[in-house]
Amino acid sequence: MTGALTVICATPATASVLGDLADECMAAIEAGDDAAFSAAADAIRSRDDVFDTSARKRAEACLSQGFGEPWEYWYPSEDWEPSSAIQARMTSTAEAKAKTAAEAAEAEAARTSNAAQVAELVYRSCGTLLARDEVAAMTNALCVESFLTNGLPGSAAP
């Protein structure tokens, strides 16, 4: 007896729902059927199964053609959006980061300027104290630190 072995593949072919919707969307555009396009576009926009790159690109192309501007699936927001809205959000985020960095740099510059002014006032005050009472000035830790950093008043800086 000759036996034949038949192998049946148990994995079903999976259709891409997003791909099917993209095809329906393009068919609606080609037919000039605005209602069918709107229905297909709404169905596409409700999908988040965008892992089939070919289907996602076809859906983006259909939405772009149907809405008259580039559309794409934006992974960070998990949403279908016009590319212009995505670009505007990215620009806004970059501008906000730049503004925050500029404000931080401004605050640091102000802090540094203030610290320099305070150090100058301490040095001058300690110089005045030194002229009046050498013992008080030289036993004052703040004055000693200022003199060590800046030199004694009336002498060459260290």
To which residue do tokens 């593949």 refer? 9
Q: If DSSP codes are grouped into helix, strand and coil, which group holds residue 124? A: helix
- Please give the helix or strand (H or E) that residue 71 lies within, else none: strand 71-74
Number of H helices, E strands in the chain: 6, 2
Whether 73 and 59 have beta carbons less than 8 Å apart is answered as yes
pLDDT value for 6? 46
Per-residue burial over 102-127, b if 16 or more Cβ lie within 10 Å, else e, is eeeeeeeeeeeeeeeeeeeebbeebb
Whether 146 and 126 have beta carbons less than 8 Å apart is answered as yes
pLDDT value for 18? 95
Q: Report the DSSP beta bridge partners of residue 82.
A: 71
Report CA torsion sign: 84, 86, 91, 92: positive
pLDDT value for 26? 96
To which residue do tokens 């297909």 refer? 40
How many whole angstroms separate alpha carbon 61 and alpha carbon 69?
10
Question: Which two tokens mark 86?
Answer: 């995505």
pLDDT value for 49? 86
pLDDT per residue, tens digit, the chain (158 aa), is 555 544 444 434 445 899 999 999 999 999 999 999 999 999 999 998 899 999 999 999 999 999 999 999 999 989 999 999 999 999 999 999 999 999 999 999 999 999 999 999 999 999 999 999 999 999 999 999 999 999 999 875 55
pLDDT value for 3? 53
Amino acid in the structure at residue 24:
E
Question: Which pTM value belongs to this model?
Answer: 0.60
